[in-house]
Amino acid sequence: MLYKELEEQGSLLFRWRSYVPLIILPLAIYFELKSNSFGPPSEPSGNFWAFICLSISMFGIILRALTVGFVPRDTSGRNTGEQVAAFLNTTGIYSTVRHPLYLANFIVFAGYILRFGSLEFFVISALIYLVYYERIMMAEERFLSGKFEKTYKVWAEKTPAFLPKISKWQTPNLSFSMRTVLRREPPTILLVGVVFFIIEFIEDTIIHKQELQHWVTADYFWSLLLVTFLILYIVTLILKKTTNLLTVDGR
């Protein structure tokens, strides 16, 4: 019964998995009020730390791209209503880890949290994330084992759930599709730009009392990053709605 309850919780959380950052928002506010600063307080060390954290999140984006760029249609998607799996992915990144997208999401999420510069906040947020996604992975694996049975069991027994085992790598069955990545990943990329822009804006203009005009001029990188990601999102959205340029057969 306990396992069934956890599975039911996972199915419910699956539909809301995109909103996990909102769970730690109150904690973020608390730790910000406690420290009165995001990360290392001085320039340029503060900017250096911000760029490190941004690089971590972008590494997560790259891992997402390397996952969705090789998989067929109706797998590893953004479906939120229910589990969908027309095929069982077992090659490429899926030959090294069973949940590469959740691992990638954690890396993106870690970049956000590390930006606050609090080890305590990072540990608490990471535990919340892992408990949250543990139930989702449990429900997902229950679904896959029921649908693919022996094939799933053989793959799952030799493939780690969350920490990749690179020695198990197998060449993907499909070639990499950048068009698929551009069709599916811009919302996540835009989110990275929005989150870091908001964090830097709050730290510099509200906490450190910089004038908005000075901040825009001195730290133009964050505005440029946001505008670049926003343009990418808008352009790919228009292409999806009005053309077939980003459509790939079987993807």
Question: What secondary structure does DSSP assign to 79-108, as a single string?
Answer: --SS---SS---SBGGGT-S-HHHHHHHHH
Q: What share of the chain is helix, strand, coil (3-state, %, to 5)?
A: 70, 0, 30
Chosen CATH of 2-176 out of 3.30.420, 1.10.3470, 2.70.70, 1.20.120: 1.20.120
pLDDT tens per residue across span 187-199: 999 999 999 999 8
User: Looking at residue 224, what is its pLDDT?
Assistant: 96
State the average pLDDT over residues 210-222: 87
pLDDT tens per residue across span 7-40: 665 566 666 666 666 777 778 777 766 665 555 4
User: Looking at residue 42, what is its pLDDT?
Assistant: 44
User: Looking at residue 19, what is its pLDDT?
Assistant: 65
Residue 149's pLDDT band (boundaries 50, 70, 90)? confident
3-class SS string, 144-172 = HHHHHHHHHHHHHHHCCCCCCCHHHCECC
- What the block records as the tokens of 243 is 């053309």
Q: Does a cis peptide bond (omega within 30 degrees of 0) precede residue 44?
A: yes
Residue 27: what residue type?
L
Q: Is the pLDDT of residue 165 over 80?
A: yes
pLDDT tens per residue across span 61-106: 999 999 999 988 777 655 555 556 667 889 999 999 999 999 999 9
Q: Using an 8 Å Cβ cutoff, are 137 and 161 in contact?
A: yes
User: Looking at residue 96, what is its pLDDT?
Assistant: 96
State the average pLDDT over residues 216-240: 94
Domain spans, the chain: 2-176
Residue 214: what residue type?
H
Provide the percentage of residues in the chain whose pLDDT is more than 70. Answer: 80
